[in-house]
Structure 1
Amino acid sequence: MSGLGLVLSIAKTALFAQRHGIDVTAHNIANVNTPSYSRQSPVMEAKEPVSYGGVLLGQGVDTTDVVRTTDQFVEDQLMQQKSCLLSSKEMEGYMQILEGLFNENSETSISVMLAEFWNLWHDISNHPAGAAERTALYQHGILLSRQFNNLEAELTELETNLTSAVNVGVERINEITREIADINIKIVGVEAAKVANDLRDKRTGLVSELSGYIDVKTFEQSNGSLTIITAKGCVLVQGSDSYDLEMGGVTGDRVTWQSSGSAHVDLTDYLTKGNLGGWLAMRDEVIAKYKLDLNALAKEFISAINHQHTQGVGLHLFEPGSTLAGTYQTSTDLDDLDFGNEIQFVANGFKLWIEDRTVPANPVMNSVSVDLSGLNGSSTLSNLATAINNQITAAGLTGVTAGVSGDAVTFTSGSDYALGFSEDTSNILGALGVNTFFQGVGAGSMSVNTVLNDKDYIAAAQIEADGSYASGDNTNALAIADLQYTSMGISQWTCDRINGNTEGTVTTTIEHYYHSMVSSIGITSESISRGREYNEVMVNKLGEIRDSISAVSLDEEMTNLIKFQHAYTAAAKLISVSDEMLETLLSMK
């Protein structure tokens, strides 16, 4: 083709090409606010020339493709940083809640209530027989116990809420991976001919959302489909197939991956990014640590107070005809008691005092030093009760019998006999829960011993070596008050999902340990906030780079629109000129 026919053909290709340019520009403008949309550009190429009269003449233009303007490296970096940002944001939010729970400025904080607890023991030391002081201590002991209970319950609720969030996240992850697998099918079908730009943008958006939940890596296959893997190399999407995550494990709170077979892989400890990474780190590392530390503090506090309380006596002995039952139980051996590891099996374990009141006007106080050296951690409560009874008999005493009821040791006094305790060097009484102030073994179970419903049994005094004791004696009250300043070994935990939880020990006071906990929470919170700030800066910078490459600029599109419009007008003018030339040719005679 040559001459006017060639001009018309070139004009036609020009019209089509410029119209394609306008179409692509319009598509860009329409999607200026569409998330994950990448700016598209038409690719125009000159058509191959033809030889005419020894001259190569061009045949116009073709639109050979429409391409997305993207930089995959930038997209991948942005996706990874967003994943880190969402993880740190979730952790930051929960850290603020945690800081609120351990707020030391509150009147009901553990710190404030511990200080008041020690003060009330000082009050009793000043007025050992005072009913008001005893009632105040008893009631505050209940309030302090409840505060420990509530704080532990709040931490447990946070764990539950985080598990629920993980469960919802897993469901959304499965929805996303199924959508991506469906889009893979469409892309493979479309790209047999041309690149599926809009489908790729949609898939990129879904991958970005997926990375907001979980660690992912992507690999594009030669046919255009995307393979997505997560922690431990587990495949989430491969071609047209997607593989679900599930909540499983013994407690149902573990994130597991199931392949096409029956095997399940536990991914929980290896998910470090995205919302799930943040939630799991908070639940299994941060909250787990402070919950363990809180319970370690409560356990040591209970043990210390109880051990000293067992050395003392209230305003009077335990009354005749009563049964004093331990608050700690075991159906097996002594080692199985909650505080069984603290028992020392020594010769002079503790003194059991028996006051014979058969002659009310002339009561007689006797004691037996209970030898525990014949027992060990494998001994049972029955073995212990038998050993105590044998030694009571050997001392020529009667009126008190040790026994076992409901997996707890008991001391039962006859109708004319009262009983008391002193000089427990073995910790056996505290381990049994006999003559103690608190019961329970941690923050969640801590409460005041129900025996102290009768406040007279608050042990402010001690029985002297000769068996005497006085309601005005404050020896034991002072000893308990001094525990405020006594350093003791308290467990401190390090929680790591990969390496497991590690128990260490610090030697410090009860209050200093709690203050250190609060300080540690503040430091952890600040560190997470700084991480979030860094990730935010990186996301913003990478977002700017991504936008400079892929985002739609209305100014640029308007320029392109005018450019293509002018070119279209010029192409139309070619047709008009060709028509005039044809008329001139036809008018020639």
Structure 2
Amino acid sequence: MALIVNGLSGALAAQAALNAASQNIANVMTPGYTRQGALLAAVSAKQAGALNAGSGVAVPALLRFSDGYKSLQMWQGASALGERATVQPYLSQLEQVVGNDAASLNSGLDAFFGALNAASVDPSSGPLRQQVLTAADALAQRFNSLNQVLSNQRVAVYQQRAATVDGINNLTAAVATLNREIAVTRASGINPSGLIDERDQKIDALAKLVALQVVEQPDGSRSLSLRGGQPLVVGAIAAKLALQGEPDGSQTLALAFAKESFTLGAGNLGGELGGLGDFERRVLTPLMASVTDMAEALTVRTNTQLAAGYALDGAVGQPLFEFDATSTTALLRVADGLVAEDLAFSTDPALPGDSGNLLALIELKSQPVGLTSLGTVLFGDAVTQLVGKLGMDSQQNQAALATAQTVRDQAEESWKSTSGVNSDEEAIAIMQFQQMYQANMKVIAVANELFDSTLAMMR
């Protein structure tokens, strides 16, 4: 009788192992699938007797080949990669726009001051004066074009942030739902491996959007929180992120969990959400402020200097530029109604051909100017330094992006080495457990023959 019990338990154990191997092979190409295997354990003898070897084999559980540390490394890699990847398109666009020689502020400033230099040869020349107005108008248009690009980028950042927040809310809700389903499934004695794989994929997608801290709970659920400790998911309860508009047009993040609410800082969020905040805070906003600073300084200094001179008709100089910090498309423009004869190049109303005030205008290029992102620099060098700083920011992000991609790739490979399906290993396992099944069926057959022989002897 013991032969039959042992053989039957061995056959059933082999069948369970074959089922696990077949499931693995069926999902060899399924993204995020974690391989499984049967845990075999010898059953101790249940009857007395020194010759009783045991009561066969049991399968107490199916093993899920998962390493929490490797999963955490993969999610951290996703956060770093998402943070760097989401910023690079913005930086690349700014590099192309600001560094474009044909349409850059540098070319516009050089053309404007070049026209002033040309006019110093004959300050009373109408064509040379008109060239100054034309160069001034072209410079204003370049300021406006760059300001428009920067404003469009800010709108794009706000829109992408809103989409990211929606994605985070959807994923946290999905993780909370899966937490509940996994707990119920485990309590019912059903294998929850498929649900756990689905949850891990949701967490991986969420980690790309914002950096996470993940804690495994005894009931099989996973609690998620931000780097700052603010909860995102606890059991079957999910937090909700919301964007709030400020009077200055900026955005702030608020998190509501249960009856608590938190205001999140722009820094240390990680993922796409953190990358957008970091780019806006460190690059975009200072650059917009610096362009505005330059336009204002150019307007104030040029108009102030012109007011100290005299036009061809001896009249006091009129403003050349008009500045509007609140306008996206008209940050800087040439004053309405101004004509070439109104340019106050002379320091003496009785000498229209004098160039004293014109030379003072030309010297403005060599004067220092204070910019938000650079500090105090020479006016003529300001754009060059802005372009250099932008290029440095872009190169640093590209280097960090390459590193983040390498770290993520290595983390994925490490995860696959433990949790991924190897079709060759599974094929070998199927052969081994097939032989185990056949051997145990042979044991049962031998037991039946012995039983029949015993009965025949007793007739």
User: Is the TM-score greater than 0.5?
Assistant: yes
Cα deviation for residue 234 of structure 1 reads 1.7
* 1:287 and 2:284 aligned: yes
Task: Give distance in 1, aligned partners of 2:319 and 2:183.
Answer: 74
Task: Give distance in 1, aligned partners of 2:409 and 2:50.
Answer: 59
**Structure 1 runs (4+) greater than 6 angstroms displaced:** none
SS at 1:55 equivalent: coil
Residue type of the alignment partner of 1:478:
L
Residue 357 (structure 2) aligns with: 476
SS at 2:134 equivalent: helix
Of 338, 341, 344, the match for 1:459: 344
Of 489, 492, 495, the match for 2:369: 489
Task: Give distance in 1, aligned partners of 2:112 and 2:229.
Answer: 54
Cα deviation for residue 477 of structure 1 reads 2.0
The structure where strand makes up a greater share of residues is: 1
Residue type of the alignment partner of 1:555:
D
Of 425, 433, 444, the match for 1:556: 425
* 1:61 and 2:60 aligned: no
Cα deviation for residue 252 of structure 1 reads 6.8
Cα deviation for residue 249 of structure 1 reads 3.8
Task: Give distance in 2, aligned partners of 1:459 and 1:451.
Answer: 15
Task: Give distance in 2, aligned partners of 1:509 and 1:219.
Answer: 54
Deviations 1:229-272 (A, max 9, x none): 114322111111111101114247222111333x6422141343
Deviations 1:323-356 (A, max 9, x none): xxxxxxxxxxxxxxxxxxxxxxxxxxxxxxxxxx
Cα deviation for residue 587 of structure 1 reads 3.7
Cα deviation for residue 195 of structure 1 reads 5.8
The structure where helix makes up a greater share of residues is: 2
Residue type of the alignment partner of 2:289:
L
Cα deviation for residue 474 of structure 1 reads 2.2
Cα deviation for residue 178 of structure 1 reads 0.8
Residue 416 (structure 2) aligns with: 547
Q: Greater CA deviation, 475-484 or 148-157?
A: 475-484
Task: Give distance in 1, aligned partners of 2:237 and 2:320.
Answer: 62
Residue 270 (structure 1) aligns with: 267
Residue type of the alignment partner of 1:489:
V
1:231, 1:270 within 8 Å by CA — same for their partners in 2? no
Of 103, 117, 128, the match for 1:133: 128
Deviations 1:114-168 (A, max 9, x none): 1111111112112322222222221221121011011011111111101111101
Of 13, 25, 30, the match for 1:17: 13
Task: Give distance in 2, aligned partners of 1:78 and 1:231.
Answer: 16
SS at 1:537 equivalent: helix
- Change in CA separation of 1:519 and 1:54 when aligned onto 2, cut-off 3 Å: closer
Residue type of the alignment partner of 1:580:
E
1:451, 1:457 within 8 Å by CA — same for their partners in 2? no
2:24, 2:426 within 8 Å by CA — same for their partners in 1? yes
Residue 255 (structure 1) aligns with: 253
Task: Give distance in 1, aligned partners of 2:240 and 2:290.
Answer: 36
Residue 147 (structure 1) aligns with: 142
1:44, 1:62 within 8 Å by CA — same for their partners in 2? yes
Residue type of the alignment partner of 1:477:
L
Of 67, 79, 84, the match for 1:83: 79
The structure with the larger Rg is: 1
**Unaligned ranges ≥5, structure 1:** 319-419, 422-434, 494-503
SS at 1:538 equivalent: helix
1:39, 1:551 within 8 Å by CA — same for their partners in 2? yes
| RMSD over aligned Cα atoms | 2.0
- 1:200-349 matched pairs, under 5 angstroms: 200-250=196-246, 251=249, 253-261=251-259, 264-318=261-315
Of 513, 523, 532, the match for 2:401: 532
Cα deviation for residue 87 of structure 1 reads 0.5
Q: How many residues align?
A: 452
2:312, 2:341 within 8 Å by CA — same for their partners in 1? yes
2:267, 2:277 within 8 Å by CA — same for their partners in 1? no
Of 569, 573, 578, the match for 2:447: 578
- Change in CA separation of 1:512 and 1:568 when aligned onto 2, cut-off 3 Å: same
Could you tell me the percent identity over the aligned residues? 22
* 1:165 and 2:157 aligned: no
Residue type of the alignment partner of 1:291:
M
Q: Greater CA deviation, 53-62 or 40-49?
A: 53-62
